[in-house]
Amino acid sequence: MSRFAAPIAEQIWDMKYRMKDAEGQPVDGTVEDSWRRVARDLASVESKPAEWEDRFYAALEDFKFLPAGRILAGAGTGRTVTLFNCFVMGTIPDSMGGIFDMLKEAALTMQQGGGIGYDFSTIRPRGAAVHGVAADASGPLSFMDVWDAMCRTIMSAGSRRGAMMATMRCDHPDIEAFIEAKQDSARLRMFNLSVLITDPFMQAVKDGKSWDLQFEGKVYRTVDARDLWNRIMRATYDFAEPGVIFIDRINQQNNLHYAETIAATNPCGEQPLPPYGACLLGSINLARLVTDPFTAEAHLDAEALDDLVRTAVRMMDNVVDASRFPLPQQLAEAQAKRRIGLGVTGLADALLMLGLRYGAKDAVEQTRKWMKAIARSAYLASADLAKEKGAFPLFDADEYLKSGFMQRMDDDVRAAIAANGIRNALLTSIAPTGTISLYAGNVSSGIEPVFAYAYTRKVLQKDGSRTEEEVVDYAVQMWRDLKGDAPLPDYFANAQTLAPKDHVAMQAAAQEWVDSSISKTINCPEDISFEEFKDVYLSAWDLGCKGCTTYRPNDVTGSVLSVSETSEAAPEADRGADVVYLTEPLDRPAALEGSTYKLKWPGSEHAIYITVNDIVQAGHRRPFEVFINSKNMEHFAWTVALTRMISAVFRRGGDVSFVVEELKAVFDPRGGAWMAGKYVPSILAAIGGVIERHMISTGFLEGEGMGLKTDPQAEVMAVGERPRGPACPSCGQYGMRMVEGCMTCPSCGHSKCG
C-alpha cells in the first residue's frame, strides 16, 4: 500500500524528490527507495554507517522527519549540488570592482539553486561623491536593479526561480527610496525587501524624536522617526513590502555574538546569517507524533519527540560534511560553525488533534512547551555529538554561554555544553515548508495555521477533459476518518478567521525557543485600519519577535483567499476567456487564427515581426503560439529561443498572462527607449507589450496590466472556502497564497522562494 496520504503528495515526490536518470526515468522505484537513498548517504560519514542508516531511515519513514527539499532531492544522487538552502553573501564593498565581484559570487550561488541574502547598506547613497572619477554615486538601488537582472538571467537559463533578500538599515540615506522601490510593479521582482530596524530607532519612534540618516559617519538628512516608521508601515500596508527585521535583537540573542555580526537574512527570513553564512533546514512533523488524536487522552509523544529530534540533529550535522558548496568561503563558514536549522511543521494540525484553537492562550502555551522541548533535545544532542566528534571550531564556552538565547536555557543544558562543548553553533529555525508539507500528506505548514481545510484541485488532460481531486488538510482528514460526517468543532480556526494578534502570539511563543528566526506570515483582513495594522508590528516588537511579515489582501496585492459561507457557485467573472489547465501540451490544429505585428525598436535598422496565433476553446480565443522574426541576424538566436519558449508555455495552458508580466519587467542595462510617449525598458519588454495588446484585442485580457486573477469555474470547497488567489505560473491552478513570506501554490507547491 502506498505511504502517500493523497495523490498530490505522490505527485510532489515524483516531480521534486524522486531520483531520476538523465533521460528522466525513475531510479527511486518507491518513496521508501528515496528514504533509503538519503539515509545511506547521510550515514556514510559515520564510523558505523549501517547502524546509523537504519536509524536515519526510521526517522524519515512515514514522513516523521522532513529534511528540506534540497536534501531529499540531492542526497545520494552523486550530483554536484548543494544540500544547503540558505546563503547570505559576502559584505558588498563600496567600490565598482568589489560590487561586481559580489555579483559574480551571487550568480555562481544561484546557479546551484541557493537562495541568497544581501545587505545593501554598505553602498554609498545616491548623489554621494565618488572621489577620483569626478562623479556622483548612483546609490544602492541602482545596483539592486543589476542583481535583479542577473537573477532573471539565471532563472531563464534553467535553474529554479530565483530568490533573493535585500536588506537596508533604517539609518541609510537612501532608506526612503528602498521602502518605495517595489511600488513600481516592474522593479525588483526577484527580491524580497526588509528594513533593518535598530533598537535606537524603535526608541526614537516611541519617544517621537528625530532620526539621522547617515553613511560612514556623515549625516545626510534628519527626519522624524515616526514619519519614517509610518512610511515603512504604509508601504507594507498597501504593497506587502518591505518586511521588518529587528536586527539588534538578532545580534544580541545570537549564540555567536562574539564571532560574527549579522546584517542580512536568507530570502524567507528564518535564517539571519553572517557574510558567507550558510544553513541547511529540516522539520519535525508534529502531526505524526500525536497519540489518541481528537480524544480526551490526546497528547504528543514526548519520548518519541526527543528521540526524533536527537536523530534529526545527527543527520543534519552530517549534511555539513556531505554537501558541496558553490563558493569556498561558504564551505569554510559552514565548517567553522556547523549551523543547522531544525524546525517543525504540522504544528497547527497537532494543536487541533489536542482540541486546541490556534492562537488561544492554551495553544500558545502548548506551542511554547513543545518548542522548548525541541530546543532542549537538540542542544543536548549536539553536546553529546561534541563529546563524540568535537565541538564546532569557533566554540568559546564562556562567550557562547553569555548569549541572550543561552541565558534562557536550563541549567542542565548549560552544564552539558560547558563540559562537552557543542557540535553546532545554532540548531533551530522555522522555515517555509509549503512543498514538503504537501509531500507529507498536506499537513499544516511550519507554525502557520491551517489555511484551507479542503479545496478542489482541477487538472485538464490532453483531450480537454477535466479531472478533479479533493486536497484535504491532514487533521481534517483524520477527523473525517475518526468521526465520519460530524461537523468540525469550533476550535478548527483557519488563517482567514484568526485575528492578527493570534498570529503574533504564536510567533512570539515559538521564537522564545528558536535560536535563529521564523518564517511566518501574519494574515490581516483587508479592512484592518492603518493604526491597527501598525499595532501588529509594535506587538511583534514588544513580544520579542525577531522580525515581522504581514499580508493584507487588497487591489494591489490581490486577494489570496475569500471565504464564502452561503454561495453554492463561484461568481461569474466578467471576462472573455476560460482558463484551461493542461498536464501535457495540446497538439497543433492544422489551421489557426492569428495576427502579425510590426515592432520598430528605436535605433535598430530592421523591424521585428511578431505573429501570435490563437486556439479557440469553449468559444473563446486564447494564445497558442508565437513567431518572432527579424532580418537582423544579431537577433536570430534569442528570437528563435523566445519563440520556442513562449510557444511551449502557451501550449500548456493556464494563466499565461505571466509571460507578459515577465517580459515587460526585463530591463536592458544599456538603456531602454521611449515609444509612443512611454518609456520601455528593453526590446523584450516591447515584445511583451505587443503580446499583451494582442491578448486584449482577443478578449483574453481585460486591459493593460490586467492579468487573469480569478477562475470563474472554481467550485466552492466542501467546507465553504474556495481559492481566489492568482494563478500559479508552474501548474496554472488558482489560489496562490502568501505562506511564510512566499506566494505559494497549494496545488503543486510552487513558490517564488523555491
Catalytic residue set: 266, 268, 270
Helix (H, G, I), strand (E, B) or coil at 179: helix
Exposed / middle / buried, residue 592 (Cβ in 10 Å: 0-12, 13-18, 19+): middle
Question: Which cell numbers hold the place of 630?
Answer: 527579424
With contact defined as beta carbons under 8 Å apart, do 392 and 337 qualify? Answer: yes
* Pairing between β-strand 115-119 and β-strand 164-169 as defined by DSSP bridges: parallel
Helix (H, G, I), strand (E, B) or coil at 419: helix
User: Cβ atoms within 10 A of the Cβ of 185, count?
Assistant: 12
Question: Which cell numbers hold the place of 143?
Answer: 545596483
Cell 518605495 sits at which residue? 180
Contacts 24+ apart (CB under 8 A), 628-635: 628/687, 630/606, 631/606, 632/604, 632/605, 632/606, 632/608, 635/606, 635/608
- Distance between CA atoms of residues 545 and 402, nearest Å: 20
Sign of CA dihedral 694, 697, 698, 699: positive
Cell 525588483 sits at which residue? 188
Exposed / middle / buried, residue 578 (Cβ in 10 Å: 0-12, 13-18, 19+): middle
**End-to-end distance of the chain based on CA atoms, in angstroms?**
30
Sign of CA dihedral 169, 88, 500, 737: positive
Helix, strand and coil content of the chain, in percent to the nearest 5, comes to: 40, 20, 40
With contact defined as beta carbons under 8 Å apart, do 481 and 752 qualify? Answer: no
Nearest to 351 by CA among 181, 166, 215, 475: 475
User: Cβ atoms within 10 A of the Cβ of 415, count?
Assistant: 12
Nearest to 113 by CA among 137, 82, 139, 148: 82
Nearest to 650 by CA among 745, 577, 712, 590: 577
* Pairing between β-strand 620-630 and β-strand 608-617 as defined by DSSP bridges: antiparallel
- Distance between CA atoms of residues 522 and 530, nearest Å: 15
Exposed / middle / buried, residue 48 (Cβ in 10 Å: 0-12, 13-18, 19+): exposed
Question: Which cell numbers hold the place of 701?
Answer: 485580457
DSSP E strand boundaries for 247-394 = 264-265, 272-273, 278-285, 290-291, 299-300, 340-345
Kindly report the CA angle at 559 between 553 and 561, in degrees rounded to 5?
110
- H/E element holding 438? helix 434-439
Most distant CA atoms of the chain, gap in Å: 79
Q: Please report how the helices 530-542 and 500-511 are oriented relative to each other, as an axis angle in degrees rounded to 10.
A: 20
Kindly report the backbone phi and psi dihedral angles of residue 115, in degrees, each rounded to the nearest multiple of 5, phi listed first: -80, 140
Helix (H, G, I), strand (E, B) or coil at 601: coil
User: Cβ atoms within 10 A of the Cβ of 418, count?
Assistant: 14
Q: Where do the H-state alpha helices sit in 338-395?
A: 347-353, 361-389
